[in-house]
A and B are shown apart, each in its own frame.
Chain A
Amino acid sequence: MMKRKYGAIIMAGAVAVSVLLGCGGGQKAADSNGAQENPGTAQSREIQESSGAAESVELIVFAAASMTETLTRIAQMYREVRPEVEIVFTFDSSGTLKTQIQEGADCDIFISAAQKQMNQLDISADSLVNTEGLDFVLEGSRFNLVENKVVLAVPDGNPADITSYEDLGTDKLGLICLGNEDVPVGAYSIEILDSLGILEQLENGSKITYGSNVKEVTTQVKEASADCGIIYATDAFSAGLMVVDQADEDQCGQVIYPAAVMNLSKHQQEAQSFLDYLTTEECQAVFESVGFSMAR
């Protein structure tokens, strides 16, 4: 009997291990496969298909999350123009992408949702912005691709009845979702709230919840987890969200998306041709269909 009890204690201690090894089995493996399928499919499909072509080139494009829909569509179009070029995307907040490039991630093209993150990687930019003296941008390849608008979006039916940026200072607002300050849309949001003089009031009232990129903010609004959120016009359009207000240029400046080839890229020529393709009329039409305008 004593032996048995002693066994109980050992079992208690080792339970985490035993469960992982013993009871894992087929069912869970199948489950986690299913769970992983969603985010990974686009990339894995791209890789699988590329293995067929003889001289295929793989271009890795790091782009702002707000470009997910448009660039995915353009990549499909590009396959007809240049079937040998496979484009693999990573979509996330420009701040995260900038950090990943800085940490040595393989990347041929970077498209940022604000000048700041591109400047931080561009040696020709002001050293006040590029504080770490990073040199990742291929000289002469950088240009302004498109322009976006920063809007206030609400869930279906607008439960909190918020109709303007000014309403954010009233009691109507329970919770607003913003991007982090390292996410471009978060930085724009802070400028807007600051220009209205209500940023501190919202912070002190714990009325702000932070998302780690613009798509997360969009989802929080769509799910009505928050009463409203500040996102881009294009994300509101793609998600079918109701837009109640739009920021002026004097509230948050122009929202410009710069694009550039990375100087560590092994396919600089191919990368440049893809960037050139983005400025063609076909691509402009795609960008404009969701609410981007071409950068002046």
Chain B
Amino acid sequence: MDWYPLYNSLRIALISSVIVFFTGIFSAYYIARLNRVVKGILDVILTLPMVLPPTVVGYFLLLLLGARRPVGLWFQEQFGVKLAMTWYSGVFAAAVVAFPLMYRTARGAFESFDETLAYSAQTLGLSNTYIFWRIRMPACRQGILAGAVLAFARALGEYGATSMLAGYTPGKTATISTTVYQLWRTDNEALAFKWVMVNMAISAVVLLIVNMLERSGKARQKERRK
């Protein structure tokens, strides 16, 4: 069994979740403080990839990043870099699809953060950066971690947009999900089944982590209440 799809899937999921972790948190933080109209509009735009079919996301990405499309052409001419049909195309696809999960969860956590904590920190003369990293983030830790895990899981399972933007090149752009589809199509059920098991094992681990995080969060809160 060639393990490349596993390696590629994990690589794509890890890199895209790191990207999404930071972009998601910062957009959640800044958008939460905008006025209602702008917030509403940005919110819809940033959440769209989650409710749109992945094929529609893939279509939009191709319109931008394809070899003959504006952004893709520019990168090709400036840096000689292809943005579509490479393994890192999968990162773009997975990041766009997973972003809303991180963004929404982080925003939910920030919104229920007690602002008086931040104000009292300000009266103590602490900088905003310090307040963000040492007070706000730790207080919202549960929600943010849950968002990151969900985003990772979504990125790992991405199929639609990835298959459109990265295609299926064995040993290059193949991920677990595209490999399963390809093996099923070409009637290689035994191998498809193996990959399905691998995928289920990974997903089970991810869900276990989410559950453990939730449990430890609850335990900590109980302790504090005492």
Contacts and interface: CB of A to CB of B under 8 A. Distances in A.
Partners in one complex: yes
B143 A11 contact: yes
A225 B66 contact: yes
Nearest to B172: A206
Interface of A: 1-2, 4-9, 11-13, 15-16, 19-20, 23-25, 27-28, 31-32, 35, 95-96, 155, 175, 177, 180-182, 203, 206-212, 220, 223-226
Nearest to B167: A209
8 contacts: A2-B221, A12-B142, A32-B56, A209-B169, A210-B182, A220-B85, A223-B84, A224-B67
B9 interface: no
B64 interface: no
B17 interface: no
A96 B150 CA distance: 33
- Majority secondary structure of chain A interface residues (helix, strand, loop or mixed): helix
A182 B143 CA distance: 46
A23 B59 CA distance: 23
Nearest to B211: A13
B169 A11 contact: no
Contacts of B171: 206
With a 10 A CB-CB cut-off, give which of A19, A25, A96 has the most chain B CB atoms. Answer: A19
B112 A32 contact: no
A24 B225 contact: no
A193 to B, nearest CB: 15
Contacts of A1: 114
A2 B114 CA distance: 10
Contacts of A11: 105, 108-109, 112, 143
Contacts of B52: 28, 31-32, 35
Contacts of B225: 2
B150 A16 contact: yes
Interface string B147-183: 1001000000000000000011111110000000010
